[in-house]
Amino acid sequence: MLQLMRPVEMLGASFREILQAAANLERMMALAREAPEPDVSPAAPGGAARLLPGCRLEVEKVSFSYGDGAPVVDDVSFTAEPGRVLALVGPSGAGKSSLLRLLLRFYMPQRGDIRLGGQSIGALGLKQLRQAVAVVPQDIVLFDDTIAFNIALARPGASHDEIEAAARAAGVHERIAAMPDGYATIVGERGLKLSGGERQRLSIARALVKRPRLLVLDEATSSLDAVTEKIVRRSLMAGAAERTTLVVAHNLAMAAGADEILVMAKGRIVERGSHRDLIRRKGLYARLWREQMQSGDEKA
Ligand code: ATP
């Protein structure tokens, strides 16, 4: 009987390995979805330009359409100043994600210019640009490895102090310190499971360890609970001085604390201002805010 058990056990082990391999493959594919697309910029004579110091983001009269279709980003202009948090909101299909793809140069605009630190991003090497920009995606891909490894992924070689500083800034250090092995705790598929809010804060820590000039948060459609959302919002806004922060927000509560809110509809920026300004204006933002508050009440 024991002899019979052995191959069954082995089969069990290899089946688990296959499952694990499948899970790893899935993660690699998820990463590939986030990975840069081929460089589409025209080859600049003498090679790519150097990224100059500074992190002001300037979007000037940018228009873009997919293929021959109608513009999904239509004559958009705004400037995001260093140390400030800008939020981009608007109904579904307004063009927020498309604008984000232009900032990361997944596509090039047909018209207009996007500059980071005064330098047109079209003239930069794609690697340079992606090093200067960090994106907090809608859901973080966690590897079956330590917390420290998972944070440092954006900048391999980061020291423990740098990893901890990023975790503190993202408001997740206390939680990590309370884990069984602290920063050496294994998380992910087979490790410690984390809540949505913890995953998001870890994702912010991963982005911050890169010390990006431009931090972009692509907020998940699935909303976090109010307390977690507040912590995430605070961690994102805190210490934002050395970078420019752009939040693409589905949840308007996430946008309300931003220095400036850009309201997009049908590819255009139709309103801009602080939360208070926009509520007073009683336009699209005020309507979206009211609708969101009402649906929140209904859910409660
Ligand atoms: P949501 O809040 O639902 O994510 P959004 O404001 O981010 O919406 P986009 O995803 O930028 O809006 O979409 C703007 C328009 O571009 C929509 O009409 C959409 O159907 C279209 N679109 C988006 N991606 C593509 C694509 N890869 N190819 C063609 N059209 C696209």
Phi (first) and psi of residue 59, to 5 degrees:
-115, 120
Q: How distant, in Å, are the alpha carbons of 117, 129, 244 from that of 120?
A: 8, 10, 16
Assembly ipTM: 0.97
Instruction: Indicate whether this model's pTM tops 0.90.
Output: no
- Nearest protein CA to atom 19 of ligand 1, as residue: 93
Q: What is the DSSP string of 68-111?
A: TS--SEEEEEEEE-TT-EEEEE-STTSSHHHHHHHHTTSS--SE
* Nearest residue to 175 via CA among 152, 210, 201: 201
Is there a contact between 206 and 154 (Cβ–Cβ < 8 Å)?
yes
How far apart CA 264 and CA 207 sit, in angstroms, is 26
Q: How far is the CA of 164 from the centre of ligand 1 (A)?
A: 37
List ligand 1's pocket residues with C-beta within 6 A: 66, 72, 90, 92-98, 250
Pocket test for ligand 1, best of 63, 64, 92, 98 (most atoms within 8 A of CB): 98
**196-208 and 226-237 helices, crossing angle to 10°:** 10
Give every CB contact of residue 3 below 8 A, 6+ residues apart in sequence: none
**160-169 and 196-208 helices, crossing angle to 10°:** 130
Query: Which three-class secondary structure state does DSSP give residue 260?
Result: strand
Q: How distant, in Å, are the alpha carbons of 8, 73, 113, 140, 236 from that of 245?
A: 54, 20, 19, 18, 8
Query: What is the pLDDT at residue 102?
Result: 94
Is there a contact between 130 and 154 (Cβ–Cβ < 8 Å)?
no
- Each residue's pLDDT, cut to its tens digit, for the chain (300 residues) gives 444 444 444 444 444 444 444 444 444 444 444 444 444 444 444 566 776 667 899 999 999 999 888 999 999 999 998 888 899 999 989 999 999 999 989 999 999 999 998 999 998 888 888 889 998 887 788 899 999 999 999 888 899 999 999 999 888 899 999 998 999 999 987 778 888 888 888 988 999 999 898 999 887 655 566 666 676 667 666 666 678 889 898 888 888 888 999 999 999 999 999 999 999 999 999 999 999 888 875 555
- Nearest protein CA to atom 24 of ligand 1, as residue: 98
The amino acid sitting at 10 is M
Query: What is the pLDDT at residue 232?
Result: 67
Give every CB contact of residue 245 below 8 A, 6+ residues apart in sequence: 80, 84, 85, 86, 214, 215, 216, 217, 236, 237
How far apart CA 97 and CA 146 sit, in angstroms, is 31
How far apart CA 96 and CA 98 sit, in angstroms, is 5
Is there a contact between 183 and 101 (Cβ–Cβ < 8 Å)?
no
Residue 267 CA, closest ligand 1 atom number: 14
